[in-house]
Structure 1
Amino acid sequence: MTTRIAPGVGANLLGQHSAERNQDATAYVGNLDPQVSEELLWELFVQAGPVVNVYVPKDRVTNLHQGYGFVEFRSEEDADYAIKVLNMIKLYGKPIRVNKASQDKKSLDVGANLFIGNLDPDVDEKLLHDTFSAFGVIVTNPKKILHGGCSAKPNARQSLSRNFLF
C-alpha cells in the first residue's frame, strides 16, 4: 500500500531539502499544460509505481506553476518504469516530457545538436525521442524545420518534402 504525502506539502525537491529525497527515484516532468495540478500528476504517476512526493514549483507572483514538476517514487526502478511508459503521453493535448531528474543544471554533460535528414514521413517526435533517449537525456525535443530554413518558397518546399528534423 502506498502512503500518500499531500502534494505541495513538505520539501522543495530542488531546494534546501534535496538531501532528503532519493535523486535516483525522482522523475522530471516537463511541458505541462497550465491546467495540470499536483493532484493530477499524482493520480497519473501512481499508476506506474508507488509515489512518495509530487512537487510542481509555482511562480511567486502569479502563483501558477512553471510548466514542469517532479515526481519522487519509492525506488529507482519505479521511476525508470514511469519514464518509459508515461513519456510523451498527452495531458490536455500536450505531450508531457518525462526524464530522470538532475540535481543541478551545472552537472549536466555538455551535449550536442543533432541534425537528422531523409526521414520517413511516418517518423514522429515520440519515435525519435524514444530512439535517441537510449543514448542520454534529450534536452530539446525534435522539431520540424519550418520552411526548411530557406527564404524562398520553392527551396522550402523541397526541404520540407525531404522530411528534415533537427
Structure 2
Amino acid sequence: MAVQFMYGVLVPVTTPKPKLPPEADNGVWSLYVGDLDPQVTEADLIDKFRLIGPIASVRLCCDSFAGDSLCYAYVNFFTSLDSSTALCFLNHKELKGKPIRIMWSQRYPLTRKTGIANLFVKNLHPSITSAQLQSMFSKFGKILSCKVAAENGKTKGFGFVQYDSEQSSMTARNALHGTLVEGKKIYVSKFAKKSARTVAHGDAMMASLEGSNQTEAAQKYWESEFCMEF
C-alpha cells in the first residue's frame, strides 16, 4: 500500500469510496446539505446534484414566518448508490462560492446531538479547510460530520470531527494529537459538552482545556451548528 505525507502526517494513499447509507426512508435516500449561502435556491441544488443521478426531491428549509432560507436543505435520491456518490464527491464543494457540508440525514440524531465520538481539533492553520480536515481524519474510520469553524469567510482556528464509533475517534486522536500541520502543532481532544466536562472523566487533555476562550467559543459554535433538528 502506498503512503504519502499530507499536512505533515504519514497517511495511506487511497481512492475515495462512497460511504454506505443508512436504511432508506420511504424508498428514498436522504442527504442533509448544510452551510448553504443564503441566496441558494432549490433550483441551484437541483442543478448541483442532478449531475450525480435522478433526484427524488429537494427541500430547502426556510423560516416559517419570514420565508428566509435557514441555509440547509434535504436532497433525496432514488438509489443508495447515487446518494453515496453525492456525499463522497460533492461534500465540501462550493455552491455560490461557499463550501457546502453534506451528511446522511438522521431520523434519530441522538449520536450527533450528544457529541458521542466527537473530536475537538484546535490550533489549526488559517489555510486548513473542512475538506482538508476531513481528508486528514478519514483514514481512521467513518466520519459522520466534519467542519472547520468559520465566520464571514475567516476560520476560527478550530473544528470538529465526529465518527460513527468511539473507537475510531480515539484512534484518530492518538495518531494525530500533537502532529505538525502546516507548521502548527494541532491539539486533538475528545469533545464533551460543558456540563459533562470534568476531571473525573479521566481525560487529562479535556481538563487542560477548561477556561480556554477557544474552547468556550467551540462549545457555543457546536451547540448552534450541530444540535439543531435537521
Partner of 2:144: 137
The alignment status of 1:88 with 2:92, answered yes or no, reads: yes
Give the TM-score taking structure 2 as reference length: 0.49
Measured against aligned partners, the alpha-carbon deviations of 1:92-149 in whole angstroms (never above 9, x if no partner) come to 22100111111132254723224367x88975431222343552202x5134655xxx
- Is 1:164 paired with 2:170? no
Aligned residues: 132
Q: Which amino acid aligns with 2:60?
A: V
Partner of 2:133: 128
Question: Which structure has more strand as a fraction of its residues?
Answer: 2
Comparing both chains, which one has the higher relative contact order based on Cα–Cα distances under 8 Å and sequence gaps of 6 or more? 1
Aligned amino acid, residue 125 of structure 1: S
Gap runs ≥5 in structure 1: 1-17, 147-159
Question: Is 1:111 aligned with 2:117?
Answer: yes
Percent identity between the aligned chains?
A: 25
Does residue 51 of structure 2 align to residue 44 of structure 1?
A: no
Measure the CA separation in 1 of the matches of 2:94 and 2:187.
Answer: 21
Q: Distance in 1 between matches of 2:42 and 2:27?
A: 17
Do 2:32 and 2:104's aligned partners in 1 also have CA atoms closer than 8 Å?
yes
The 1:86–1:21 alpha-carbon spacing in structure 2 relative to 1, beyond 3 Å, is same
Cα RMSD (Å):
3.0
In structure 1, distance between residues paired with 2:25 and 2:85:
23
Q: Secondary structure at the match of 2:57?
A: strand
Separation of aligned partners in 1, 2:156 and 2:102: 24
- Aligned position for 1:156: none
Structure 1 runs (4+) greater than 4 angstroms displaced: 119-123, 143-146
